[in-house]
Amino acid sequence: MSKDILIPKLCFPEFNKDEGWDLKEFSSFIKLDRGSSPRPIQEFLTKDESGVNWIKIGDTKNAVNSVIYQVEEKITREGAEKSRKVEKGELILANSMSFGKTYKLALEGCIYDGWFVLRKYERHFNKSFLLQLLNSDFMQNQYKRLSAGGIVQNISSDIVYNSKLFHTTLQEQQKIASCLSSLDEVIATNSQKLELLNEHKKGLMQNLFPQDGETVPKYRFPEFKNDGEWVEKSLIDTADKNAKWSFTGGPFGSNLKASDYTTVGIRIIQLQNIGDGEFNDDNKIYTSPEKADELLSCNIYAGDVILSKMGDPVGRACIIPNSLKRCVMASDGIRLVVDEKEYSKYFIYSLINSKRIREVIEKKATGSTRKRIGLDTLREIELIVPKKIEEQQKIASCLSSLDELITAQVEKIAQLKLHKQGLMQGLFPKIND
């Protein structure tokens, strides 16, 4: 690392100084205590509300601004005595699965050995500043460099202790923490708005589609109230009979191997790209045009519907975005080309993702830990649809306008997070490797 004076690009006027920030090993400032757990843990889990919070890595999925507010499981008081106790307000660092992320606790409880708890740092660091620093790209990249092969799966105490931390006065830390925390509040507010939009959509779909055992929805547009009951169709009935391979699955695993992957070429749509009602554009891999031609029956195109053979949840669907003209499905994808002369594509796609159809698919799927459904089973899934395509289109228009609001909100949050990332790069000194 460079021996130049460490001065951030963005500096509050009252902290302008020539000596710069310190850069020292983590072990100079902080002590780590590793979590522990009673074994076998199953014997100490309890549903009793008087039990002790059992804080796992999985509980981070509901964290807000890196703060853990709730847990899914509790352990008995006896189990807690054999575990590492943590207090409300403490910082814990994940040493597995979450790639060295640090979280603040909004509750007390116990942690297992997938966590470190940070202690004895208060003389050196403002807690909010430290939380931001430990979750910065600067720290995460260090963990990757210090790990074998640059891939972080588990982080030892040595890796953490040997990483380096920026350090400045507590007053400057407080100022930076306040700046970043105010932006976190804006992100949290917009995330709550997104959650409300998603909840509104779920409720709307339950009323716009018939529920189990019903043939008409609770809400119906006035112009269609006298059009009678909706009719039953199989999923395969909605496929375009004039389009080749309009309902087909991805290739066998042996037909599309890692050795077929390329850095550029035809995009491969993986299971993780099939979001629950949205296309996830991360995890990009490609194959050659020649391989795509070889797997022509497994190609999928912009505007097609793609379903997942596997959870979670099984049978979820999204639409291939217009930016991807031609792709190849991986083995767990299913292509559906909707007959748009008879059906509204957006209606069918929304119906597949509705609560009732999701429950039907779940019941027909096999597997105990991770559900899977076959192509033949999925094609016979029964749908209840309006007789007139005009009613389908009206419902689709209603849902698509709401989806546009949701997409705009997602993009707004992404931009706020990008802004925060850039702000952090300016508020922390830059290190030249």
Q: Residue 2 pLDDT more than 70?
A: no
**What confidence tens digit (pLDDT) does each residue in 99-144 have?**
689 999 999 999 999 999 999 999 999 999 999 999 998 998 888 8
Alpha-carbon distance 329 to 162, whole Å? 43
Q: Read off the pLDDT of each residue in 32-47 and give the average, rounded to a whole number.
A: 93
Kind plus residue range of the DSSP H or E element containing 326? strand 326-329
Q: What is the pLDDT of residue 1?
A: 42
- Rounded CA-CA distance 336/330 in Å is 14
Strands (E), 80-161: 84-86, 91-94, 102-105, 109-111, 115-119
Q: How far apart are CA 136 and CA 427, in angstroms?
A: 11
Q: How many CA atoms lie within 13 A of 260 on its CB side?
A: 20
One fold for 22-167 and 231-385: yes
Question: In angstroms, rounded to a whole number, what is the distance separating the alpha carbons of residues 109 and 79?
Answer: 11
Nearest to 308 by CA among 336, 340, 284: 336
Nearest-10 crossing angle of helices 137-146, 389-427? 80
Reduce the DSSP state of residue 385 to 3 states and report it. Answer: strand
Residue 277 exposure: Cα atoms within 13 Å on the Cβ side: 20
% of the chain exceeding 90 in pLDDT: 82
Contact 71, 78 (CB under 8 A): no
Tokens of 248: 């087909």
Q: Does the structure show a pLDDT above 60 at 433? A: no
Specify the pLDDT at position 106. Answer: 97
CA-nearest of 276, 270, 277, 407 to 346 is 277
322: DSSP letter: T
Name 19's bridge partners: none
Report residue 312's pLDDT band, with 50, 70 and 90 as the boundaries: confident
Averaged pLDDT for residues 350-374: 91
Confidence of residue 150 (pLDDT cuts 50, 70, 90): very low
157: left (phi over 0), alpha (psi -120 to 50) or beta: alpha
Higher pLDDT, 392 or 57: 392
Please tell me what DSSP assigns to residue 230.
-
Residue type for position 146: L
pLDDT at 397: 97
Question: What three-state secondary structure class fits 246?
Answer: coil
Q: What is the rounded CA–CA span in Å between residue 419 and residue 407?
A: 18
Tell which CATH classification among 3.90.220.20, 1.10.1060.10, 3.20.20.140, 3.20.20.450 matches the domain 22-167. 3.90.220.20
Average pLDDT, the chain: 92
Look at the domain 231-385 and name its fold.
Adenine-n6-DNA-methyltransferase TaqI; Chain A, domain 2 (3.90.220)
Query: At a CB cut-off of 8 Å and minimum separation 6, what does 134 contact?
Result: 91, 93, 100, 102
Residue 257 has pLDDT above 50, yes or no: yes
Whether 73 contacts 49, CB under 8 Å: no
Inform me whether the pLDDT recorded for 153 exceeds 70. no
What is the average per-residue pLDDT within 347-373? 92
Give the integer Cα–Cα distance in Å for 135 and 350. 37
For the chain, the structural domain boundaries read: 22-167, 231-385
Strands 382-385 and 231-234: antiparallel
Question: Stretch 72-88: mean pLDDT, rounded?
Answer: 95
Phi-psi region of 319 (alpha: psi -120 to 50; beta: other; left: phi over 0): beta
On the question of pLDDT at 3 being above 60, the answer is no
Cβ proximity of 68 and 106 under 8 Å: yes
Q: Is the pLDDT of residue 16 over 90?
A: no
In whole angstroms, give the CA distance from residue 377 to residue 28: 60
Question: What single-letter DSSP state applies at residue 163?
Answer: S
The mean pLDDT value for 137-161 works out to 78
